[in-house]
Each structure stands twice: as C-alpha cells, then as structure tokens.
Amino acid sequence: KGVAKKQAKQSSTEIKQAAVLGAGIMGGGIAYQSAYKGTPIVMKDINQAALDLGMNEAATLLGKKVERGHMKLDKMVGTLGKIKPTLNDADLAGSDIVVEAVVEHPQVKKTVLAGLEKQLPEGTILTSNTSTIRIDELAEALEKPEHFCGMHFFNPVPKMPLVEIIRGEKTSDETVAAVVDYALKLGKSPIVVNDCPGFFVNRVLFPYFAGFSKLVVEGADFTKVDKVMENVFGWPMGPAYLLDVVGIDTANHCTGVMADGFPTRMARQDKDPVAVLANAERFGQKNQKGFYKYA
Ligand code: CAA
Ligand code: NAD
C-alpha cells in the first residue's frame, strides 16, 4: 500500500468522473462503490434489466445504511444520484476513466475497448476488470495502449479491499498512478502487478478451483467438500458456493483462459463440473441455479 500511495502522488490525472461498462455483478458493485465514496459514475450496459438490477442493488445497500442509522436519507438520495444508468454511449463523454466490466471474452472486450478509444478524447484512461485475460492481449486492440491497464476488483466489490492494478508492457507510469489514486479514493487497497493470465490472485484461486473440480470428477460430493472447507477448515465459503457467487459462466471462461495460458499446469479436465454446469445454463446465483439452487 505504501508503494501504491507513493505512485499515486505522481498522478497527473485526477479522476473526477468515472464510467463503468457492464452493470452486472461487478459493474454494479463498482458503480455503487464509486458513488458511495463520492466520485460520480456513469454505468452503461446493453441491457435495461441489468441496469435496473444494478440500481436496485445499490439502493438496497444504501437503504441498509440508513436503517442502521449510518447514513441520512438525503445522503442516500444524493449517493444514488451519483450513479447514472444508461444504454447510450454518448453519456460516457466527460469520463476521466472507464472501467470495462463486460463478459470475460477476449474478442468482446477488444471490440468494446477499441470502440471506447475511438469515441473518447485522447488521454481518457481505459481499464479492464478482466479476471484472467492478459492486458497486453487486450491492448492489441488499442492505438494508444499507454493509457490502458487492468483494474481488477473482487466480488463482492463493496466488501473486498483488494484491487489488482495490472501494468501492461506499454502502460505509462502516469496511467498506473492515476488508477492507483482512484482505487485509494474508492477506499480500496491497490497492488500493482505484472501481466500474465490470471495476474496474481487468480493464479492462486483457479488452481484451487481446478483441484476442487478434479475431486468432483473423481466422485467427491461437492456439498461435503463445501461443508469441510466452511465448517471445519474455517473459510467463509467452500469452492462450489464460491463458484456460484462468481458466476459459473464467468468461471468457465476464466478456466479456458487459464488452460490456454498454462497448458501443462492448468489443462482443462474432462467432465469439468464448471463446464458441465455452464453448458446446462446453470450460471450460479445470477440465474438462481448453479451447483446449488437459490429459488
Ligand atoms: N454486494 C455487497 N455486499 C454484499 C454482497 C454483495 N454482492 N454479498 C454480501 N454482501 C454483504 C452483506 O450485505 C453483508 O453486509 P452487512 O455486514 O453490512 O450486513 C455482508 O456482506 C455479509 O456479511 P457476513 O457477516 O455474512 O460476512 P462477512 O462480513 O464475515 O464476510 C465476505 C463477507 C468478506 C464477503 C465473505 O463472505 C467472503 O470472504 N466471501 C468470499 C469472497 C471471495 O472469496 N471473493 C473472491 C471471489 S473471486 C474474484 O472476485 C476474482 C475473480 O476474478 C473471479
Ligand atoms: P455479469 O455476467 O454479471 O455481467 C456482465 C454484464 O455485461 C451484463 O450485464 C451484460 O449485459 C453486460 N454487457 C455485455 N456486453 C456489453 C457491452 N458490449 N457493453 C456494455 N455492457 C455489456 O459478469 P460479471 O461477473 O460482472 O463480470 C464482468 C467482468 O468482471 C468479467 O470480465 C469478469 O471476469 C470480471 N470479474 C468477475 C468477478 C466475479 O466474481 N464475478 C470478479 C472479478 C472480475
């Protein structure tokens, strides 16, 4: 954190207005956190239902603070007013930073990022909340990759302190400094890491998920694995439940990126339960069915 703070001091771009692309699990959380910490944010999606969900979630979280006496009602209304949900690209104008948080698919992200670069003034900072895709790979879509880096939040965004800031080969120091600064403004603990598939955390987390999947393929009962990890080992949740929280579709994309990036260590397993569930459209908590049922 000390190094990150030092880097923030060199910052030249102050983030006064932000934007997030994607109003899903992560985009909604990022919008809430930015508004809560005082930086107005445009939340853009291609789906009105996603925007409505994102706004409802923000209202619920802020409502809890009011109920507990931690926030006044007028502050709650003001905070909600700092999030502008939209379906229109034109509303992104005036943003100092854009956090891309759309599906974990390299080609979709490249198209979205290239479109943003064309539309926004030169110097606008572009970041990706990708879980696993190399920043240098995404940067191939950009003409000015110096203004681009990874900004990887963790789920649930309002609760998880860490943000990984991933420096691509061509990312400038000024860009890293400005993004560190914004992460600190959001009340997060940023770390600056180098680029590789999965960066730091997901190089640790996805081998754990792979170990779990192997146990299931070999016949383990996933509910028992979860019970042991939760009740006896003492982690907040077991791997099956955590995969449902992350989103099975997202975890499936991430597993593919990690397998491509580390073909010997992270090769995809036959009958990988994450792939089996994704193919059955059991996407986890986001559609009420994954390893577990939620409705
Ligand atoms: N958004 C905002 N808040 C949420 C939430 C969400 N989606 N889900 C739960 N919460 C909040 C609840 O509202 C509740 O808040 P209050 O205390 O204000 O009522 C709180 O979280 C839950 O409180 P608990 O007492 O049940 O739990 P806790 O405070 O002890 O722990 C936690 C919460 C730290 C999130 C814990 O559940 C945890 O560690 N979970 C695992 C999270 C994790 O591992 N995330 C990483 C996922 S992988 C990833 O993000 C990377 C990737 O690229 C895929
Ligand atoms: P999600 O499925 O909940 O939401 C994705 C949203 O993106 C949807 O609302 C969809 O309508 C929208 N979208 C798709 N294409 C779009 C476009 N062209 N423009 C605007 N919006 C578009 O996914 P998520 O879990 O929020 O994940 C988003 C990103 O964050 C992924 O790259 C994922 O790997 C990463 N991430 C996820 C987690 C997690 O635990 N879920 C944690 C860290 C990082």
The residue ranges of every structural domain in the chain are 2-194, 202-285
Coil, strand, or helix at residue 19?
strand
Cis preceding linkage at 239, omega within 30: no
pLDDT at 11: 46
Q: In 3D, which of 15, 292, 257, 8 has the Cα closest to residue 138?
A: 257
| Alpha-carbon gap, residue 241 to 233, rounded angstroms | 15
Q: In 3D, which of 276, 271, 230, 229 has the Cα closest to residue 249?
A: 276
CATH 1.10.1060.10 given to domain 202-285: no
Q: Give distance in angstroms: CA of 109 to centre of ligand 2.
A: 10
Q: How do strand 41-44 and strand 83-86 relate by DSSP bridges?
A: parallel
Statement: residue 2 has pLDDT above 80: no
- Contact 255 CB / ligand 1 (< 6 Å): no
pTM: 0.94
Q: Give distance in angstroms: CA of 257 to centre of ligand 2.
A: 16
pLDDT at 6: 55
| Alpha-carbon gap, residue 279 to 272, rounded angstroms | 11
What band does 13 get if pLDDT is binned at 50, 70 and 90? confident
Exactly one of 70, 147, 152, 253 is catalytic; name it: 152
pLDDT at 4: 56
Q: How do strand 189-194 and strand 162-167 relate by DSSP bridges?
A: parallel
Q: What is the phi/psi pair of residue 110, to 5°?
A: -60, -45
Q: Give distance in angstroms: CA of 218 to centre of ligand 2.
A: 31
Residue whose Cα lies nearest atom 39 of ligand 2: it is 246
What band does 7 get if pLDDT is binned at 50, 70 and 90? low
Ligand 1 atom at minimal distance to the Cα of residue 155: 50
The CA-based dihedral angle spanning residues 61, 64, 65, 66, taken in that order and rounded to the nearest 10 degrees: 120
Q: Which two tokens stand for residue 86?
A: 């939209």
84 Cβ neighbours under 8 A, 6+ residues apart = 40, 41, 42, 43, 91
Average pLDDT over the chain, rounded to an integer = 95
pLDDT in tens, 31-52: 999 999 999 999 999 999 999 9
Above pLDDT 90, what percent of the chain?
Answer: 94
Statement: residue 202 has pLDDT above 60: yes
Q: Which two tokens stand for residue 278?
A: 């994704």
pLDDT in tens, 59-74: 999 999 999 999 999 9
Instruction: Please give the ipTM for the structure prediction.
Output: 0.92
State which of 36, 159, 235 you would mutate to test the pocket of ligand 1, scoring each by most atoms of that ligand within 8 A of its C-beta. 159
pLDDT in tens, 146-184: 999 999 999 999 999 999 999 999 999 999 999 999 999
- Contact 24 CB / ligand 2 (< 6 Å): yes
**Using N-to-C axis directions, what is the helix angle for 2-9 and 173-185, rounded to 10°?**
120
Judge whether 152 counts as a catalytic residue.
yes
Burial of 164 (0-12, 13-18, 19+ CB in 10 A): buried
Question: Domain 2-194 falls in which CATH fold?
Answer: Rossmann fold (3.40.50)
Burial of 232 (0-12, 13-18, 19+ CB in 10 A): exposed
Residue whose Cα lies nearest atom 18 of ligand 2: it is 112
